[in-house]
Structure 1
Amino acid sequence: MANLVDILDATAAIKCPADKFYNFFKYNMSDLVKIFPASFKGAQLLEGQEGTVGCVILWNYLLGVLPMSAKVITEAIDDAGKSITFAVLEGDVLQLYKSFKATLTVSDGLAKWSFAYEKATLLSPPPELYLPFGIAICTMVDAYLLINN
Protein backbone atom coordinates (compact mmCIF):
# COMPACT_ATOMS: atom_id res chain seq x y z
CA MET A 1 0.00 0.00 0.00
CA ALA A 2 1.37 3.43 -0.95
CA ASN A 3 1.76 5.97 1.81
CA LEU A 4 -0.21 9.13 1.26
CA VAL A 5 0.50 12.60 2.55
CA ASP A 6 -2.62 14.40 3.74
CA ILE A 7 -2.94 18.14 4.31
CA LEU A 8 -4.99 20.14 6.80
CA ASP A 9 -5.27 23.93 6.47
CA ALA A 10 -6.01 26.63 9.02
CA THR A 11 -6.50 30.27 8.04
CA ALA A 12 -6.47 33.32 10.30
CA ALA A 13 -7.24 36.94 9.58
CA ILE A 14 -4.39 39.32 10.46
CA LYS A 15 -4.38 43.10 10.79
CA CYS A 16 -0.67 43.90 10.80
CA PRO A 17 1.20 44.28 7.49
CA ALA A 18 1.95 40.97 5.77
CA ASP A 19 5.70 41.71 5.57
CA LYS A 20 5.93 42.37 9.31
CA PHE A 21 4.00 39.18 10.15
CA TYR A 22 6.05 37.06 7.75
CA ASN A 23 9.35 38.48 9.02
CA PHE A 24 8.40 37.64 12.60
CA PHE A 25 8.09 33.96 11.70
CA LYS A 26 11.21 34.10 9.55
CA TYR A 27 13.54 35.86 12.01
CA ASN A 28 11.96 35.87 15.48
CA MET A 29 9.78 32.78 15.80
CA SER A 30 11.54 31.70 19.00
CA ASP A 31 9.97 34.81 20.60
CA LEU A 32 6.74 32.77 20.75
CA VAL A 33 7.99 31.61 24.16
CA LYS A 34 7.60 35.13 25.59
CA ILE A 35 4.53 36.11 23.54
CA PHE A 36 2.54 32.93 24.13
CA PRO A 37 3.96 31.42 27.37
CA ALA A 38 0.78 29.46 28.10
CA SER A 39 1.55 27.22 25.10
CA PHE A 40 5.27 27.61 24.35
CA LYS A 41 7.54 26.43 27.15
CA GLY A 42 10.90 26.58 25.40
CA ALA A 43 12.76 27.14 22.13
CA GLN A 44 16.42 26.17 21.87
CA LEU A 45 18.41 27.01 18.75
CA LEU A 46 20.43 23.89 17.89
CA GLU A 47 21.86 24.70 14.45
CA GLY A 48 22.11 27.69 12.13
CA GLN A 49 20.27 30.93 12.72
CA GLU A 50 16.65 31.95 12.45
CA GLY A 51 15.76 33.24 9.02
CA THR A 52 17.87 30.68 7.16
CA VAL A 53 17.11 27.33 5.58
CA GLY A 54 18.63 24.60 7.73
CA CYS A 55 17.98 26.34 11.04
CA VAL A 56 17.07 23.72 13.69
CA ILE A 57 15.12 24.59 16.84
CA LEU A 58 14.00 22.29 19.63
CA TRP A 59 10.49 23.35 20.68
CA ASN A 60 8.68 22.48 23.92
CA TYR A 61 5.00 23.33 23.80
CA LEU A 62 1.53 22.36 24.93
CA LEU A 63 -0.90 21.06 22.33
CA GLY A 64 -4.14 21.46 24.20
CA VAL A 65 -3.05 19.96 27.53
CA LEU A 66 -0.47 17.57 26.05
CA PRO A 67 3.19 18.45 26.66
CA MET A 68 5.04 18.04 23.37
CA SER A 69 8.54 18.46 22.02
CA ALA A 70 9.70 18.70 18.44
CA LYS A 71 13.06 19.18 16.77
CA VAL A 72 12.16 21.32 13.75
CA ILE A 73 14.19 22.37 10.72
CA THR A 74 13.40 25.34 8.51
CA GLU A 75 13.14 23.44 5.24
CA ALA A 76 12.21 26.17 2.76
CA ILE A 77 11.85 29.96 2.66
CA ASP A 78 10.12 31.74 -0.21
CA ASP A 79 10.37 35.50 0.34
CA ALA A 80 8.50 36.34 -2.86
CA GLY A 81 5.56 34.16 -1.85
CA LYS A 82 5.95 34.94 1.88
CA SER A 83 6.02 31.24 2.69
CA ILE A 84 8.10 29.21 5.16
CA THR A 85 8.09 25.43 5.53
CA PHE A 86 9.11 23.73 8.77
CA ALA A 87 9.68 19.97 8.98
CA VAL A 88 9.73 17.90 12.17
CA LEU A 89 12.94 15.86 12.45
CA GLU A 90 12.29 14.29 15.86
CA GLY A 91 9.69 14.52 18.59
CA ASP A 92 6.37 13.47 20.01
CA VAL A 93 4.35 14.21 16.87
CA LEU A 94 6.36 11.56 14.99
CA GLN A 95 4.86 8.87 17.22
CA LEU A 96 1.65 9.27 15.21
CA TYR A 97 3.06 10.41 11.86
CA LYS A 98 5.92 9.24 9.66
CA SER A 99 6.37 12.83 8.53
CA PHE A 100 4.98 16.17 9.62
CA LYS A 101 5.50 19.57 7.99
CA ALA A 102 3.95 22.95 8.61
CA THR A 103 3.96 25.66 5.97
CA LEU A 104 3.01 29.24 6.80
CA THR A 105 1.93 31.45 3.90
CA VAL A 106 1.19 35.11 4.55
CA SER A 107 -0.70 37.57 2.38
CA ASP A 108 -2.38 40.91 3.06
CA GLY A 109 -4.94 40.28 5.80
CA LEU A 110 -4.42 36.52 5.91
CA ALA A 111 -2.10 33.89 7.38
CA LYS A 112 -2.50 30.26 6.37
CA TRP A 113 -0.96 27.19 7.98
CA SER A 114 -0.86 24.00 5.93
CA PHE A 115 -0.03 20.87 7.90
CA ALA A 116 1.21 18.03 5.68
CA TYR A 117 1.46 14.66 7.39
CA GLU A 118 1.83 10.99 6.65
CA LYS A 119 0.12 8.67 9.12
CA ALA A 120 2.35 6.15 10.89
CA THR A 121 -0.55 3.66 11.04
CA LEU A 122 -4.09 3.44 9.76
CA LEU A 123 -5.24 4.28 13.29
CA SER A 124 -3.31 7.56 13.51
CA PRO A 125 -5.87 10.38 13.69
CA PRO A 126 -5.55 13.52 11.60
CA PRO A 127 -3.59 16.18 13.54
CA GLU A 128 -6.70 18.34 13.98
CA LEU A 129 -5.46 19.87 17.26
CA TYR A 130 -2.91 21.82 15.21
CA LEU A 131 -5.65 23.79 13.43
CA PRO A 132 -6.87 25.86 16.42
CA PHE A 133 -3.25 25.96 17.67
CA GLY A 134 -2.10 27.54 14.39
CA ILE A 135 -4.95 30.06 14.47
CA ALA A 136 -4.19 30.95 18.11
CA ILE A 137 -0.51 31.49 17.27
CA CYS A 138 -1.45 33.82 14.41
CA THR A 139 -3.89 35.75 16.60
CA MET A 140 -1.35 36.20 19.40
CA VAL A 141 1.49 37.23 17.06
CA ASP A 142 -0.78 39.64 15.18
CA ALA A 143 -1.86 41.31 18.45
CA TYR A 144 1.75 41.42 19.68
CA LEU A 145 3.00 43.04 16.47
CA LEU A 146 0.17 45.58 16.41
CA ILE A 147 0.91 46.62 20.01
CA ASN A 148 4.73 46.46 20.05
CA ASN A 149 5.90 47.65 16.66
Structure 2
Amino acid sequence: MALSGKLIGYVNISKSGDVFHDLLRHKPHEMVAIAPDKVHDCELHEGERGAVGSVITWHFTSEGKKQTSKQIIESVNEENHTIVLKVIGGELVDGKYKSFTNTFHVEPKGDGKVATWTFEFEKLDTSVPYPTAEMDYLCDLIKHLDAHNGTK
Protein backbone atom coordinates (compact mmCIF):
# COMPACT_ATOMS: atom_id res chain seq x y z
CA MET A 1 0.00 0.00 0.00
CA ALA A 2 1.34 3.42 -1.00
CA LEU A 3 2.32 5.96 1.62
CA SER A 4 2.47 8.86 -0.85
CA GLY A 5 -0.68 10.24 -2.35
CA LYS A 6 -2.41 13.00 -4.22
CA LEU A 7 -6.01 14.11 -3.78
CA ILE A 8 -7.74 16.72 -5.96
CA GLY A 9 -11.03 18.52 -5.31
CA TYR A 10 -12.90 20.76 -7.76
CA VAL A 11 -15.53 23.42 -7.07
CA ASN A 12 -17.38 25.31 -9.79
CA ILE A 13 -17.43 28.99 -8.80
CA SER A 14 -19.18 32.11 -10.04
CA LYS A 15 -16.74 34.69 -8.71
CA SER A 16 -13.37 35.50 -10.24
CA GLY A 17 -10.14 33.79 -9.26
CA ASP A 18 -8.90 37.16 -8.02
CA VAL A 19 -11.52 37.12 -5.26
CA PHE A 20 -10.42 33.77 -3.82
CA HIS A 21 -6.72 34.43 -4.33
CA ASP A 22 -7.06 37.73 -2.49
CA LEU A 23 -9.10 36.20 0.36
CA LEU A 24 -6.70 33.31 0.94
CA ARG A 25 -3.57 35.34 0.55
CA HIS A 26 -4.23 38.87 1.79
CA LYS A 27 -7.62 39.01 3.54
CA PRO A 28 -8.18 35.85 5.58
CA HIS A 29 -9.85 37.97 8.26
CA GLU A 30 -12.72 38.44 5.79
CA MET A 31 -13.18 34.66 5.67
CA VAL A 32 -13.55 34.74 9.45
CA ALA A 33 -16.36 37.30 9.07
CA ILE A 34 -18.03 35.40 6.19
CA ALA A 35 -17.81 31.89 7.68
CA PRO A 36 -17.25 32.24 11.46
CA ASP A 37 -18.51 28.69 12.10
CA LYS A 38 -15.82 27.32 9.74
CA VAL A 39 -12.82 29.72 10.08
CA HIS A 40 -12.01 31.37 13.42
CA ASP A 41 -8.65 33.06 12.90
CA CYS A 42 -5.59 33.27 10.71
CA GLU A 43 -2.56 34.09 12.83
CA LEU A 44 0.59 35.49 11.19
CA HIS A 45 3.80 34.19 12.86
CA GLU A 46 6.57 35.23 10.47
CA GLY A 47 6.91 37.41 7.41
CA GLU A 48 4.32 39.59 5.73
CA ARG A 49 0.74 38.43 5.19
CA GLY A 50 0.51 36.77 1.77
CA ALA A 51 4.26 36.82 1.08
CA VAL A 52 6.22 33.74 0.09
CA GLY A 53 7.99 32.39 3.18
CA SER A 54 5.45 33.75 5.64
CA VAL A 55 4.19 31.37 8.33
CA ILE A 56 0.52 31.35 9.36
CA THR A 57 -1.74 29.28 11.58
CA TRP A 58 -5.36 28.76 10.60
CA HIS A 59 -7.88 28.13 13.40
CA PHE A 60 -11.01 26.36 12.16
CA THR A 61 -13.73 23.84 12.94
CA SER A 62 -13.97 20.67 10.86
CA GLU A 63 -16.15 17.67 11.65
CA GLY A 64 -17.31 19.41 14.83
CA LYS A 65 -13.76 19.75 16.20
CA LYS A 66 -11.71 22.92 16.61
CA GLN A 67 -8.37 22.44 14.87
CA THR A 68 -5.28 24.32 13.73
CA SER A 69 -3.07 24.10 10.67
CA LYS A 70 0.32 25.84 10.67
CA GLN A 71 1.49 26.55 7.12
CA ILE A 72 4.24 28.28 5.19
CA ILE A 73 3.52 29.92 1.85
CA GLU A 74 5.89 28.16 -0.58
CA SER A 75 4.90 29.90 -3.81
CA VAL A 76 2.37 32.24 -5.36
CA ASN A 77 1.40 32.78 -9.00
CA GLU A 78 -0.81 35.83 -9.55
CA GLU A 79 -1.56 34.96 -13.18
CA ASN A 80 -3.31 31.64 -12.54
CA HIS A 81 -4.33 32.46 -8.95
CA THR A 82 -2.18 29.73 -7.40
CA ILE A 83 -1.04 29.51 -3.79
CA VAL A 84 1.10 26.60 -2.55
CA LEU A 85 1.05 26.03 1.21
CA LYS A 86 3.23 23.52 3.02
CA VAL A 87 1.57 22.29 6.22
CA ILE A 88 4.18 22.25 9.00
CA GLY A 89 2.08 21.72 12.12
CA GLY A 90 -1.34 21.23 13.62
CA GLU A 91 -3.75 18.34 13.95
CA LEU A 92 -3.64 17.50 10.24
CA VAL A 93 0.02 16.54 10.13
CA ASP A 94 1.09 15.87 13.71
CA GLY A 95 1.39 12.11 14.06
CA LYS A 96 -0.14 11.46 10.63
CA TYR A 97 1.89 12.82 7.72
CA LYS A 98 5.62 13.20 7.02
CA SER A 99 4.78 15.88 4.46
CA PHE A 100 1.62 17.64 3.32
CA THR A 101 1.35 20.32 0.64
CA ASN A 102 -1.88 22.09 -0.18
CA THR A 103 -2.24 23.91 -3.53
CA PHE A 104 -5.16 26.17 -4.49
CA HIS A 105 -5.76 27.60 -7.94
CA VAL A 106 -8.56 28.85 -10.18
CA GLU A 107 -8.87 28.16 -13.90
CA PRO A 108 -11.47 28.74 -16.62
CA LYS A 109 -13.87 25.90 -17.35
CA GLY A 110 -16.29 26.34 -20.23
CA ASP A 111 -18.24 29.52 -19.57
CA GLY A 112 -17.32 29.52 -15.87
CA LYS A 113 -14.44 28.93 -13.51
CA VAL A 114 -13.33 26.11 -11.29
CA ALA A 115 -11.44 26.34 -7.99
CA THR A 116 -9.08 23.42 -7.46
CA TRP A 117 -7.50 22.13 -4.26
CA THR A 118 -4.64 19.65 -4.61
CA PHE A 119 -3.18 17.78 -1.65
CA GLU A 120 0.17 16.02 -2.05
CA PHE A 121 1.18 14.04 1.00
CA GLU A 122 3.20 11.24 2.52
CA LYS A 123 1.54 9.30 5.32
CA LEU A 124 3.58 8.10 8.30
CA ASP A 125 2.16 4.60 7.88
CA THR A 126 -0.65 2.69 6.17
CA SER A 127 -3.08 3.18 9.07
CA VAL A 128 -3.34 6.93 8.33
CA PRO A 129 -6.50 7.64 6.30
CA TYR A 130 -6.55 9.66 3.10
CA PRO A 131 -7.39 13.31 3.90
CA THR A 132 -10.86 13.21 2.32
CA ALA A 133 -12.56 14.95 5.26
CA GLU A 134 -10.07 17.83 4.94
CA MET A 135 -10.75 18.05 1.20
CA ASP A 136 -14.50 18.07 1.81
CA TYR A 137 -14.04 20.86 4.37
CA LEU A 138 -12.03 23.09 2.00
CA CYS A 139 -14.36 22.50 -0.97
CA ASP A 140 -17.35 23.32 1.25
CA LEU A 141 -15.59 26.48 2.44
CA ILE A 142 -15.06 27.62 -1.16
CA LYS A 143 -18.76 26.98 -1.93
CA HIS A 144 -19.73 29.02 1.14
CA LEU A 145 -17.42 31.90 0.17
CA ASP A 146 -18.65 31.81 -3.43
CA ALA A 147 -22.29 32.03 -2.30
CA HIS A 148 -21.63 34.99 0.00
CA ASN A 149 -23.05 38.20 -1.49
CA GLY A 150 -20.45 40.48 0.09
CA THR A 151 -17.61 38.66 -1.68
CA LYS A 152 -17.05 40.14 -5.14
TM over 0.5, shorter chain = yes
Gap change, CA 1:36 and 1:86, over 3 Å in 2: same
Q: CA contact under 8 A between 2:28 and 2:42: conserved in structure 1?
A: no
Q: Aligned partners of 2:41, 2:17: CA distance in 1, in Å?
A: 26
Instruction: Give structure 1 stretches of 5+ with no counterpart.
Output: none
How do 1:1-149 and structure 2 match up within 5 A? Answer: 4-94=3-93, 95-108=95-108, 109-144=113-148, 146-149=149-152
**For residue 70 of structure 1, what is the amino acid of its counterpart?**
S
**For residue 147 of structure 1, what is the amino acid of its counterpart?**
G
Cα distance per residue 1:24-78 (max 9 Å; x no partner): 2221134322221112222211111222101111122122122211211111111
| Counterpart secondary structure, 1:129 | helix
RMSD of equivalent CA atoms: 1.7
Q: Aligned partners of 1:131, 1:50: CA distance in 2, in Å?
A: 24
Give aligned pairs, total. Answer: 146
**For residue 130 of structure 1, what is the amino acid of its counterpart?**
E
Give the percent of matched residue pairs that are identical in Structure 1 and Structure 2.
26
**For residue 112 of structure 1, what is the amino acid of its counterpart?**
T
| Counterpart secondary structure, 1:117 | strand
TM-score, normalised on structure 2?
Answer: 0.86
- 1:86 CA drift (Å): 0.7
**For residue 98 of structure 1, what is the amino acid of its counterpart?**
K
| Counterpart secondary structure, 2:80 | coil
- 1:6 CA drift (Å): 0.7
Q: Aligned partners of 1:133, 1:67: CA distance in 2, in Å?
A: 13
- 1:148 CA drift (Å): 4.1
Q: CA contact under 8 A between 2:71 and 2:88: conserved in structure 1?
A: yes
Instruction: Give structure 2 stretches of 5+ with no counterpart.
Output: none
TM-score, normalised on structure 1?
Answer: 0.88
- 1:85 CA drift (Å): 0.6
| Greater helix share, structure number | 1
